[in-house]
Amino acid sequence: MQTPFRADAELCDHALDLCQRLIQIDTTNPPGNERPAADLLAVELRAAGLEPIVLESAPGRANVVARLRGTGAKEPLLLTAHLDVVEADAARWRHPPFSGEIADGCVWGRGAIDMKNMAAMSVAILCRMAREGLKLERDIIFAGVADEEAGCQQGSLWLCKHHPELVRAEFAIGEGGGFNIFIGPRPFFTVQVAEKGVCWVRARVRGEPGHGSMPRADSAVIKLAEAIARLGKRGLPRRMTAVVGDFIDAVAKEQPALARPFLKRLLSPSLSPFVLERIPDRSVARGLSAMLGNTASPTVLRAGDKTNVIPGVAEVEIDGRTLPGQTTEDFLRELSEVLGPEVELEVMRELPPVVTEPRASDLWDTIHEVLREREPEAAIVPYMLPGFTDAKAFTQLGARWYGFAPVKMPRGMRFADLFHGHDERIPVEGLRWGTEVLAEVVARFAQGSAT
Ligand SMILES: [Zn+2]
């Protein structure tokens, strides 16, 4: 019988150090330039006796994969993190975004919570397990990938297409959950079990061209502007999905008796707009609203190039996001109903929604078990991310995905505000906590009866 695997101070220090060093490598995407970050992790993994592989999808766009072998009695577990980050406007930060500096109890820098923390924790854990020669019944694979922030093409999608044998796993743990949120008296920990699909659309209107000196009410620009205004006002219809229903139920259950029925009304498509209007925190209301239907945000506008010419065509690009269970056709039908019959729709890019089904599994139970031991006062809620992650790629190879990059935030510090925000940072204690929790989950799950 092996001694149980536990994260100690040395393992947490290793994760902290790796997180700082990863932040110091500028992997702003575009252009990404993830190679030095992948190399750094490869050096660490190699020093622990593993055989990491660095694979470039394009010059400088590197993915790193390593595998700690188990007996093979069960299928592998994948730990994954993207190595690229979104841009940072240094002038708006209190500490430089690529410093990895520790101040006020936090590690500061772009990627601190999204998600160089997860790459650092996973690699530190894998290195320690390799050094201890832990007996596992499943392989544990680590994949540090490029290009998530620009749509995964050079990263997880490329890796799954060209090297599926390296990353195929029964279960995957990546981003999308694992952080705590405060709604009412009790803290909640999220575990991501679904994410919305993507449907980017180009909407085009044609009209009569003419001279700018003689305005026309039926010009392409005016018709498009009217259509966009309708979309802004009406939005798309509200729909309830099982995972969102479970999330709202779980949150409502923990609220004071008077607030409970109010939140429960979110479950009803006809009453939810009323509830959303009355939520004082508008960022919480927007987050909830995005979970209650397909959404469409007009983003890029294009029409005309001369002030005195009424153009014959006007276009808008629309960032559409679809709920689990909804197809691209469903979404286009909804969008067309709001924009009107004169607006032509052309799909630019689509990625299907992801749902982990069935949600229950040994891994789901292990996550709950560890969280309950560590945070007995917290509730655990299944979560649907309105955005997308590398889950889109790895689930195509059959992995069941749990978004669980554990980090504990102090009350008053909100994950959602730091994510892609100025002053992104991670509390040092929150990172240590996350390392311990992730180590515990991975060890218990991958060791299984091998202990
Ligand atoms: Zn991310």
CA of 419 to the centre of ligand 1 (A): 8
Which of 269, 253, 53, 31 has its CA nearest to residue 146?
31
Q: Which two tokens stand for residue 282?
A: 């508008």
Q: Specify whether the CB–CB gap between 397 and 162 falls below 8 A.
A: no
What does the DSSP assignment read for 310-350?
E-SEEEEEEEEEE-TT--HHHHHHHHHHHH-TT-EEEEEEE
Q: What does DSSP assign to residue 28?
A: B
Please tell me the pTM assigned to this model. 0.93
Q: What is the CATH topology of the domain spanning 9-192+354-450?
A: Aminopeptidase (3.40.630)
pLDDT, tens digit, 9 for 90 and up, residues 392-450 = 999 999 999 999 999 999 988 888 889 899 999 999 999 999 999 999 999 999 998 76
How sure is the predictor about 51, in pLDDT bands with cuts at 50, 70 and 90? very high
Three-state DSSP class for residue 396: helix
The reported pLDDT for the residue numbered 414 is 87
pLDDT, tens digit, 9 for 90 and up, residues 339-354 = 999 999 999 999 999 9
Q: What does DSSP assign to residue 4?
A: P
CA of 307 to the centre of ligand 1 (A): 41
Which of 446, 449, 445, 440 has its CA nearest to residue 5?
440
Query: What residues does each domain of the chain span?
Result: 9-192+354-450, 195-351
Q: Evaluate if residue 292 carries a pLDDT over 80.
A: yes
pLDDT, tens digit, 9 for 90 and up, residues 241-284 = 999 999 999 999 988 888 899 989 999 999 999 999 998 888 88
CA of 235 to the centre of ligand 1 (A): 27
CATH number of this structure's domain 195-351: 3.30.70.360
Q: Which of 147-161, 207-221, 279-293, 322-336 is predicted least confidently?
A: 279-293
Q: Specify whether the CB–CB gap between 207 and 213 falls below 8 A.
A: no
Topology match between the domains 9-192+354-450 and 195-351: no
Which of 301, 296, 291 has its CA nearest to residue 235?
296
Q: Evaluate if residue 3 carries a pLDDT over 80.
A: no
Neighbours of ion ligand 1 (CB under 5 A): 114-115, 175
HSE-CB of 229 using CA atoms within 13 angstroms: 6
Q: Specify whether the CB–CB gap between 24 and 53 falls below 8 A.
A: no
What is the distance between the alpha carbons of residues 396 and 161, in angstroms, rounded to a whole number? Answer: 10
pLDDT, tens digit, 9 for 90 and up, residues 90-149 = 999 999 999 999 999 999 999 999 999 999 999 999 999 999 999 999 999 999 999 999
What is the distance between the alpha carbons of residues 302 and 219, in angstroms, rounded to a whole number? Answer: 14
CA of 321 to the centre of ligand 1 (A): 17
Indicate the average pLDDT of the chain.
95
Q: Evaluate if residue 8 carries a pLDDT over 90.
A: yes
CA of 358 to the centre of ligand 1 (A): 24
